[in-house]
């Protein structure tokens, strides 16, 4: 499978242990191992909000979902709990919603992490949420939090990710149709629970393997909105460093050669692997394609290592200025294990599925990895604004590899896009990057950022999402 081995921090409630763990090739996110809670620790009970909605006890459900925690500033209003998306398998998605601080009529933004199998709480605590965790378990307000100007929703997706769970194997998603359907069911319930948000513009955002999830749920909303009980005011999407079309994106040879990380001989070897992978995709043998790129980039199934690792010495693919992964964020892991935190966010003693050890989410989506969501994007581009952005320094989903598929999108306005000028994008006088837009498509390169743009360049990422949600062009200050 597409993993690399690396030393990671696995966090108990009070201690940190370094072990050898496995990491998905698209997944830079840390793993945290929960220790069992002592009998005298009050972690509360999981809060299932679907029964409140079914009984039309909306106000009571909202009140029950309110988050109260001694470390969270009182001026940050938030709600969390579980939304059941399949009663037969007892499949439940966990969400944490932050009310917009400055404007109650603000747009609504959904954030989805990648993986597959990475918790969106990573984005909350380390990328774009209201706060980060300090080493003393206090919360440090984030200056460029997206919740200042947006109602911000984080969902652990798909089922089996983070605090989300299912009781049966068939509850796990095996394709993006199922992912999109589950998210749509959860969002229908969320907007029922918070009806004042239904009229607000709604945007779906995410990164990495979220490049599949974001178009999947947006497409599901688009196709079903007319007959849905709760209509969502979808206006656009944003995908950061997203894997959307492996056939055109997983072509690393020329890029790595131009960076100087491999020589001409290794580049030619890359070309051979890439051709084989594309042939597998053309034959719809997606397991074959998965295995080819594992040998090329990741090497989990090969004791001698991947071609990329052996040629470059790199064990990280998320920023070409870093040869090894960043240490896991032990503070976030410790904070999530605090009894007060579990009680406050209404997860009780439920397991936190964090990609350590067996990753059932990825296992079930293995045949999905090498499939394309370009058809979804082509359809969405006809009606919604689509922002596709990349950090300049990423390897695994690099800007030129993303452009390989972006230039092959098919939508009204594509001819205009090909002729459109590329603008220098400024934020407060700084060159944040470069943008090109035509029709509903906006593609952006973010300077000096790797795979996780909001983490590396938070000020610029906030400006980027504000331009999406407030309809502002990138060619203007």
What are the structure tokens assigned to 303, written together?
């004791």
Number of CB atoms found within 10 A of residue 59's CB: 10
Number of CB atoms found within 10 A of residue 351's CB: 10
Q: Is 329 a catalytic residue?
A: no
Alpha-carbon distance of 136 to 359, in angstroms, equals 30
Alpha-carbon distance of 322 to 314, in angstroms, equals 8
CB contact set of 331 (below 8 Å; sequence gap of 6+): 132, 133, 134, 135, 137
Number of CB atoms found within 10 A of residue 268's CB: 12
| Residue 424: half-sphere exposure toward Cβ, Cα within 13 Å | 5
Q: Which of these is catalytic: 248, 346, 451, 463?
A: 451
| Contact indicator for 35, 13 with CB cutoff of 8 Å | yes
Cα 408 to Cα 249, 376, 404: the distances in Å are 11, 13, 7
Q: Which of these is catalytic: 80, 119, 164, 208?
A: 208
Q: Is 5 a catalytic residue?
A: no
* Category of 357 on φ-ψ map: left (φ > 0), alpha (ψ -120 to 50) or beta: left
Preceding omega of 347 cis (within 30 degrees of 0)? no
Q: Which of 237, 67, 85, 44 is nearest to 139 (CA)?
A: 67
Q: Which of these is catalytic: 86, 394, 456, 463?
A: 394
| Residue 88: half-sphere exposure toward Cβ, Cα within 13 Å | 4
The secondary structure of residue 294, as a DSSP letter, is I
Alpha-carbon distance of 246 to 231, in angstroms, equals 32
Structure-token match 């990329």, residue found: 308
Q: Is 208 a catalytic residue?
A: yes
| Contact indicator for 98, 151 with CB cutoff of 8 Å | yes
Number of CB atoms found within 10 A of residue 352's CB: 23
Q: Which of 245, 192, 173 is nearest to 215 (CA)?
A: 245
The secondary structure of residue 48, as a DSSP letter, is B
| Burial of 353: CB neighbours in 10 Å, binned 0-12, 13-18, 19+ | buried
Preceding omega of 116 cis (within 30 degrees of 0)? yes
Structure-token match 């009894």, residue found: 339
Q: Which of 226, 151, 164 is nearest to 195 (CA)?
A: 151
Active site members = 208, 394, 451
């Amino acid at each position: 499978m597409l993993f690399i081995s690396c030393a990671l921090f696995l966090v108990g409630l009070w201690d940190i242990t370094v072990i050898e763990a496995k990491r998905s090739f698209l997944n830079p996110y840390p793993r945290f191992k929960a220790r069992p809670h002592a009998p005298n620790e009050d972690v509360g009970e999981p809060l299932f909000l679907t029964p409140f909605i079914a009984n039309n006890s909306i106000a009571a459900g909202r009140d029950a979902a309110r988050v109260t925690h001694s470390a969270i500033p009182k001026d940050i209003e938030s709600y969390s709990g579980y939304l059941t998306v399949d009663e037969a398998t007892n499949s439940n998605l966990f969400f944490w919603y932050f009310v917009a601080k400055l404007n109650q009529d603000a747009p609504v933004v959904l954030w989805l992490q990648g993986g597959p199998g990475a918790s969106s709480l990573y984005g909350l605590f380390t990328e774009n949420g209201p706060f980060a965790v300090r080493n003393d378990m206090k919360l440090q307000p984030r200056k460029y939090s997206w919740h200042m100007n947006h109602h911000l929703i984080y969902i652990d997706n798909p089922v089996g990710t983070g605090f989300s769970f299912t009781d049966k194997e068939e509850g796990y998603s095996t394709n993006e149709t199922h992912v999109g359907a589950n998210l749509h069911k959860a969002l229908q319930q969320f907007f029922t629970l918070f009806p004042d948000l239904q009229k607000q513009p709604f945007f779906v955002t995410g990164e990495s393997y979220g490049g599949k999830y974001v178009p999947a749920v947006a497409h599901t909303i688009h196709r079903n909105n007319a007959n849905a009980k709760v209509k969502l005011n979808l206006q656009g999407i944003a995908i950061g460093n997203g894997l959307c079309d492996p056939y055109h994106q997983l072509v690393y040879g020329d890029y790595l050669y131009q960076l100087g990380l491999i020589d001409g001989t290794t580049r030619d070897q890359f070309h051979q692997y890439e051709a084989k992978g594309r042939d597998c995709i053309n034959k719809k043998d997606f397991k074959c394609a998965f295995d080819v790129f594992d040998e090329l980039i990741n090497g989990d199934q090969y004791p001698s290592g991947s071609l990329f690792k052996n040629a470059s010495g790199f064990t990280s693919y998320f920023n070409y200025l870093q040869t090894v992964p960043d240490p896991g964020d032990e503070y976030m892991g410790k904070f999530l294990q605090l009894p007060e935190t579990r009680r406050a966010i209404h997860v009780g003693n439920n397991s936190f599925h964090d990609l350590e050890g067996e990753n059932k989410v990825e296992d079930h989506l293995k045949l999905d990895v090498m499939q394309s969501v370009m058809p979804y994007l082509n359809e969405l581009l006809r009606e919604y604004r689509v922002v596709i952005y990349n950090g300049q320094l990423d390897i695994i989903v690099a800007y030129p590899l993303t452009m390989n598929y972006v230039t092959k999108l098919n939508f009204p306005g594509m001819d205009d896009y090909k002729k459109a000028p590329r603008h220098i994008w400024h934020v407060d006088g700084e060159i944040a990057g470069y943008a090109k837009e035509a029709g509903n498509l906006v593609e952006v390169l973010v300077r000096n950022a790797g795979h996780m743009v909001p983490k590396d360049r938070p000020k610029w990422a906030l400006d980027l999402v504000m331009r999406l949600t407030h309809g502002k062009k990138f060619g203007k200050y």
